[in-house]
Amino acid sequence: MSEVDAHLGCHLQCLATYLVPVIVLFVVLKFTGVFRSLRLKAQSFAMQKLAPASDALPAVKNAKKALFKTLHDFKTPPVILEVGAGECRNVEYYPDNSSYIVVEPNKNFDQPLRKRVAEAGAHLKLEAVYTDYAEKLEHVESESIDAYVMTHVMCCFKDIEVVLKEARRVLKPGGRLYIFHHFVGPNASIRTPRFFLEHYIIMPILTGIMECNPDMYIEAAIRRHFPKTDLQIVELPFNMISLRYHLISDSLKERISE
């Protein structure tokens, strides 16, 4: 055996010594559910640390006020369903005396979201908290919801068509769908070193933890299910390319007579 072969064999042996246990550990964590449990805790921790700063930005507040403007046009206090609500950071934009139903599959948000709604006082009536998924809202009856809200969660869904179809099912005729969705915007076509760092290193890590795909552009799907849609693209002052551009849409489910 040559000296080169000996060195190569040593390197392969060292690699196997460290890599095999890591692979085994990953497989064990994944198939015992421990991996998912850790990921859900990481999601909750990250959102509770990062969301307050981003939501406090004046540009974000103005964008959300504009998005939810028609929510205040309902003649009676609306029934609001928010999916992927996290800590329920949108409650400040909701009309007084609204009935509020939360769908949040991550149970680590349960205490923070209840605390935030309680702080809103009589402003909101928390009707229920479900751990359903947007693809199948088992606890929500058809045509029972006035306003369906999804902010910063569309990137997490594997089948947007199913999610939007389910949204149409639960909305009353005349009900509205509100979406606040971040995505990789037009400037991403400029392949700068920063773009590659974010897109191929940082975002895959965030995708693994947050289950978020920022490459998802959803305008066509929204318009297929909700032809009466007021939609715009805005640029917000976030540093990351994948968070900077937002699709903001207010969609109406037509009444039968319309």
Pure H helices in 71-229: 110-119, 160-170, 193-197, 203-210, 219-225
Query: What is the structure's pLDDT at 231?
Result: 95
Find, among 148, 216, 208, the residue nearest to 176 by Cα.
148
Query: What per-residue confidence (pLDDT) applies to 204?
Result: 63
Helix and strand counts by DSSP (H, E) for the chain: 9, 7
Whole-number pLDDT of residue 251:
96
Residue 183: per-residue pLDDT: 82
Cα(217)–Cα(160) distance, rounded to whole angstroms?
Answer: 10
Number of Cα atoms under 13 Å in the Cβ half of residue 64: 18
Kindly list the domain boundaries of the chain, sorted by start residue.
3-32, 57-252
Give the model's pLDDT for residue 15: 47
What is the mean pLDDT, run by run of 10 residues, along the chain of 258 residues?
A: 48 51 50 60 61 79 95 96 89 93 87 85 86 90 97 87 96 97 68 67 63 78 95 86 86 79
> In this structure, which topology does domain 57-252 adopt according to CATH?
Rossmann fold (3.40.50)
pLDDT at residue 5, as a whole number: 46
Give residue 190's pLDDT.
54
Across 70-158, the runs of DSSP E, i.e. the strands, are 79-83, 98-103, 124-130, 145-151
What is the reported pTM? 0.80
Alpha carbons 213 and 103: distance in angstroms, whole number = 20
CA Rg, the chain, in Å? 22
Question: Comparing C-alpha atoms, which of 46, 5, 3, 2 is closest to residue 243?
Answer: 46
